[in-house]
Amino acid sequence: MRQDHGIIAMLKISLISATGVLCLLWAIATPASKSYWKNVGFEMDRTLNPNKYEVENIKGEGNG
């Protein structure tokens, strides 16, 4: 039968697509590096909770 070739091709395409999606999801879910996320976390914490950190010297303040 000639239809078998179409079914096999469709299964191959489905398998390749599913593998690609799984690889993409794995790449998204895997953290880039601990140091990157540590720096991002610090900056976000500093942005969202400025009272926890010492205020940097702004021009015109505390210069005497």
Express each pLDDT in 15-36 by its tens digit. Answer: 999 999 999 988 887 766 666 6
CB under 8 Å to 53, separation ≥6 — which residues? 46
Is residue 63 one of the residues assigned to a domain? no
Name the residue with higher pLDDT: 12 or 64. Answer: 12
**Has residue 18 been placed in a domain?**
yes
* In a domain? residue 59: no
Range of the structural domain that residue 26 is part of? 3-52
| Residues 6 or more apart in contact with residue 31 via CB below 8 angstroms | 37
pLDDT value, residue 23: 94
58 within domain boundaries: no
pLDDT of residue 34: 67
Work out the percent of the chain whose per-residue pLDDT is above 70: 69
Bin 2: left if φ > 0, else alpha if -120 < ψ < 50, else beta.
Answer: alpha
Domain-located, residue 31: yes
Q: pTM here?
A: 0.45
At residue 61, does pLDDT exceed 70?
Answer: no
Whether 40 is in a domain gets the answer yes
Domain count across the chain: 1
